Structure 1
Amino acid sequence: MVDMAVIELSRLQFALTALYHFLFVPLTLGLSFMLVIMESIYVMTDRPVWRVVTRFWGKLFAINFVLGVATGITMEFEFGTNWSYFSHYVGDIFGAPLAIEGLMAFFLEATFVGMMFFGWDRLSKRQHLFTTFMVALGSNLSALWILVANGWMQHPTGSHFNPDTMRMEVTDFGAVIFNPVAQAKFVHTVSAGYVCASVFVLGVSSYYILRGKWVAVAKRSFTVAAAFGLASALSVVVLGDESGYTLTDNQRMKLASLEAMWHTEPAPAGIALFGIPSMEGRKTLYEVKVPYVLGLISTRSLTGQVAGIDELVVKAETRIESGIKAYDAVERLKVNRGDMAARAVFEEHKLDLGYAMLLKRFMPDPRKATPADIEKAAWTTVPNVPVMFWLFRAMAGLGFFFIAFFGAAFWMATIRRFGCANGFCRLFMRAAVWIIPLPWMAIEAGWVLAEIGRQPWAIDGVLPTFLGASSLTVPQIWTTIIGFTALYGTLAVIEVRLMLAAIAHGPIEDRASGGTHSQPAHPAYAAVPAE
């Protein structure tokens, strides 16, 4: 029998390290391309103030970049230490995108990041802009390959189970790369990172304007962040809609759960704005719905139907019964590789083998399952509906809020109303400082939503999570959780102190650095007009 305490603690440890790592990734993704925009303006206009703008935000990018790399490396080791059977079972597929990420994207970043930080006075302006662009490209390519791997976990296309090796193997690597779930997750995730960086830049710039410090730099940064953030916020919502569309074909249980749709509704289904779903009663106690919207988003039609949880559980029961036949065939092939009858049965039912594995949570041999056992296992395919329901609404609500927020910022930047002493503009800039944490909250909620929605699967429909863990003990896992928490807590304090110190120091260039375009730390410089 599976020790679920070990499984849940292993999940907790990986979740903690992943959530911590993901505090740095979005800001890195967004700041990298904002630096490209700022430096491009400097190259085109040859105005020294834009050099100061770029170097200041580059300093904050560097602090964040280092912590992101350090915490990301730890996670890759956890696949071997905490999820050894997962690594063995799907390593041929899952490991390939991660290897490409290291060889292509990470090495690209590592090659150019030093040139970007230390090459200001050694490279021409266009050469340095090229290095900045390559760092941004490398950062975003890293996200692409990591999300290709994660997208395959959500929708394992281009692969099959080989009964001779007892492992999953690649059959079409192109299908793995161009997995629709992976592509939708990539564009949605990087857009969220752009929003995160835009809110950060806008908040810090607003702080400077309110304090009357480095106003010329702050106004220009505010303008770039407002325009970049508005475009990014719009893309997050649009691409989130595309992600919902991919769920209809590939992850129907996740879609039904985040809408707390227990029963299949006549097409087109409505979307719930508010509700109180209950796992115990398997129903929603109260809800407010808008007709037709969910059907239009999910199926792009008025006739497409969105399956409910109850119907999907019945389908899961059917797949478990089919999977038991595949499991029995695999066991026979272990004894006799030449058993052609067993191989024929396996080929007929192989797509459902993972569903039979769900029974291993309750018994050693799935072939001995009763109808009651099959029904019990089928209901484990339903994730935590109340958590899914509310996380999605919190994330979506923040997404629409950011559109309005950046719309107001873009209006302010367009009419140059930065310095109004009272009224809306000053209130907005104060709010901009306080809402800096909100995009991180939305992004972390989105990650939790995606991963909880995939449960009970490590690989959707292929490998249950409880079968992927290493043979560890509870004390061993608690020791590493405490150790990681202490280490990451220390790193978090260092990160925040460094970022706050850099912001407090401000966009001041050091004359002693030898730069030919250094700007003096003179009060008059802060008064240079933004126009």
Structure 2
Amino acid sequence: MDPTVVDLSRLQFALTALYHFLFVPLTLGMSFMLVIMESVYVMTGREIWRTTVRFWGKVFGINFVLGVATGLTMEFQFGTNWSYFSHYVGDIFGAPLAIEGLMAFFLEATFVGLMFFGWDRLSRLGHLIVTFMVALGTNLSALWILIANGWMQNPTGASFNPDTMRMEVTDFGAVLFNPIAQAKFVHTVSAGYVCASVLVLGVSAFWLLRGRFTEVAKRSMTVAAAFGLASSLSVVVLGDESGYALTDNQKMKLAAIEAAWHTAPAPAGLTLVGIPDVHARETRYKVEIPYVLGLIATRSLDRQVTGMSELVLKAQERITSGVIAYDAVQKLKANPNDLAARQVFELHKRDLGYALLLKRHVDDPRKASPQLIADTAWDVVPDVPFMFWSFRTMAAIGFAMIALFATAFALCSLRIHTRTRWFLRLAVWAIPLPWIAIELGWALAEIGRQPWAIDGVLPTFLASSSLTPVALITTIVGFTLLYGTLAVIEVRLILKTIAHGPVEDDLAPLADPIPATSITA
């Protein structure tokens, strides 16, 4: 495979995925904030809450439309740009995507129209149920997508079938309850809740600074403060749980995040800052907190956090074992009834994907020298400096969000949030921060999996389609122009909606209806 084609395919998917993920978190969080606000309206019957819900519903609707449009493009790319990926693991990867479309996406599509146009046609409780179903569908969509992505990170419940030369499901329950997928889901949706809370908090603060729509702004800020505080605390707690899941399932990613080049005595210390040196394979000028990484990653004082050098040695062993499995597969292709080859394959099939890493350097992995195997083993190490600094930036923003919402909650509880102008300005400036953290988190998860499209199963450079660089550059430019235009339109629509504010534009009925007799006269 042409490396340029692979790199351009990765670039295109990264651009569309990161762009799509600008809308997903806000949709996830805003949907449940609408449920909370509308629940208050149903319980109190106060029209100010109805106005509040309808305004934030407009913001949700604008964002929802673009989230759906950009998500469809991403799914089509698996067939256009990653055709071998689709062929090799489509039986497993396609199932969660299909369920997402049938079960969750259709649920959203069915109820979202009722949510927007059913205010005067449904009872208060009926409309609240509709809003809840939209929120449920939105979050179920994220669940099935993250089950699919979690399987790419930790491919459980499936195995390679030498008769079909594809991966096939062996335990669908293991795919559904993959620990990586479950940890990613709760962490991701919590981050989405923080994202929506920051937007509502910031816009409310902007109104209060301008002295506009104060009644809606005060109530919106109170909801955002409480929901945001709970969500930001959840992000940190569930992020810790996600890190614990990496200890057993993605040790290389954890080691790269911590720039742990070598296994340290238990319990390992947590590196706050430092300068990872890829060439020397050490972290210079690091500031370390003793014991903390061991406690976070292993929940113990005596278990080690394996370093990258030791993990590379294990990868070298798995490549050697994988070559044996690869040889057995070639024999089975020639003679499917070769029982000896099938027995050898069953012993080494877990490592077949590691042998495929050698195809970057040699056509037939069986011809690889011991030195080539040793050198290739280092390919399993991702971009350590990016992983190291992205995680610390993301974590710093996460703790900043806790401080922001804790302050907002305290000010709202004391009923002085409308007069604390320094905090209102801070809330406005904080609006972009969750998006930065979320984009870094998504990039961290995907780059941390490299060089694998499916961890330990299929290398990324073997997963792409047979396209030309010209075709890829053309589509990248086209998507960039299209999405750039859509981004400008969305931002302008949201800003216009915010500037217009929560004002209902209902047409007043005619004061003196024209009698029918006057028309015929």
| Common fold: TM-score over 0.5 | yes
- Give me the whole-angstrom Cα distance separating, in 2, the residues matched to 1:263 and 1:21: 37
Question: What residue number does 1:129 align with?
Answer: 128
- Residue identity matched to 1:432: A
Question: What residue number does 1:97 align with?
Answer: 96
- Give me the whole-angstrom Cα distance separating, in 1, the residues matched to 2:146 and 2:46: 39
Question: What residue number does 1:66 align with?
Answer: 65
1:264 aligned onto 2:232? no
1:451 aligned onto 2:446? yes
- Give me the whole-angstrom Cα distance separating, in 2, the residues matched to 1:370 and 1:419: 71
Shift of 1:15: 0.2
Shift of 1:510: 1.7
Question: What residue number does 1:327 align with?
Answer: 326
1:398 aligned onto 2:397? yes
Q: What percentage of aligned pairs have identical amino acids?
A: 73
- Give me the whole-angstrom Cα distance separating, in 2, the residues matched to 1:69 and 1:284: 42
Shift of 1:182: 0.1
- Give me the whole-angstrom Cα distance separating, in 2, the residues matched to 1:349 and 1:432: 56
Shift of 1:341: 0.5
1:147 aligned onto 2:146? yes
Alpha-carbon spacing, 1:513–1:145, altered in 2? closer, same or farther (3 Å):
farther
Question: What residue number does 1:474 align with?
Answer: 469
TM-score (norm 1): 0.95
Question: What residue number does 1:228 align with?
Answer: 227
1:161 aligned onto 2:156? no
Check the 8 A contact 1:192/1:443 in 2, yes or no: yes
Question: What residue number does 2:487 align with?
Answer: 492
- Give me the whole-angstrom Cα distance separating, in 1, the residues matched to 2:395 and 2:90: 34
Question: What residue number does 1:506 align with?
Answer: 501
Residue by residue, what CA displacement relative to the aligned partner does 1:13-37 show, whole Å, maximum 9, x if unpaired? Answer: 0000000000000000000000000
Shift of 1:260: 0.3
Residue by residue, what CA displacement relative to the aligned partner does 1:428-464 show, whole Å, maximum 9, x if unpaired? Answer: 1011111101100000000000001000000000000
Residue by residue, what CA displacement relative to the aligned partner does 1:330-365 show, whole Å, maximum 9, x if unpaired? Answer: 000000000001000000000000000000000100
- Residue identity matched to 2:164: T
Shift of 1:372: 1.2
Shift of 1:298: 0.5
- Give me the whole-angstrom Cα distance separating, in 2, the residues matched to 1:273 and 1:110: 45
- Residue identity matched to 2:487: A
Q: How many residue pairs align between the two structures?
A: 509
Shift of 1:513: 8.1
Name the SS of the counterpart of 1:454 in structure 2: coil
- Give me the whole-angstrom Cα distance separating, in 2, the residues matched to 1:237 and 1:419: 28
C-alpha RMSD over aligned residues: 0.7
Name the SS of the counterpart of 1:105 in structure 2: helix
- Residue identity matched to 2:450: Q
- Residue identity matched to 2:32: F
Question: What residue number does 1:436 align with?
Answer: 431
Question: What residue number does 2:516 align with?
Answer: none
Residue by residue, what CA displacement relative to the aligned partner does 1:191-237 show, whole Å, maximum 9, x if unpaired? Answer: 00000000000000000011110100000000000000000000000
TM-score (norm 2): 0.97
Question: What residue number does 1:34 align with?
Answer: 33
Gaps of 5+ in 1: 515-531
- Give me the whole-angstrom Cα distance separating, in 1, the residues matched to 2:169 and 2:376: 28
Alpha-carbon spacing, 1:93–1:513, altered in 2? closer, same or farther (3 Å):
farther
Question: What residue number does 2:347 align with?
Answer: 348
- Give me the whole-angstrom Cα distance separating, in 1, the residues matched to 2:506 and 2:190: 37
Shift of 1:286: 1.7
- Give me the whole-angstrom Cα distance separating, in 1, the residues matched to 2:152 and 2:418: 50
- Residue identity matched to 2:485: T
- Give me the whole-angstrom Cα distance separating, in 2, the residues matched to 1:435 and 1:372: 51
Name the SS of the counterpart of 1:511 in structure 2: coil
Question: What residue number does 2:216 align with?
Answer: 217
Check the 8 A contact 1:326/1:353 in 2, yes or no: yes
Check the 8 A contact 1:209/1:418 in 2, yes or no: no
Could you list the structure 1 runs, at least 4 aligned residues long, displaced by more than 2 angstroms after superposition.
none
- Residue identity matched to 1:500: L
Shift of 1:323: 0.1
- Give me the whole-angstrom Cα distance separating, in 2, the residues matched to 1:8 and 1:378: 21
- Give me the whole-angstrom Cα distance separating, in 1, the residues matched to 2:396 and 2:455: 28
- Give me the whole-angstrom Cα distance separating, in 1, the residues matched to 2:278 and 2:212: 53
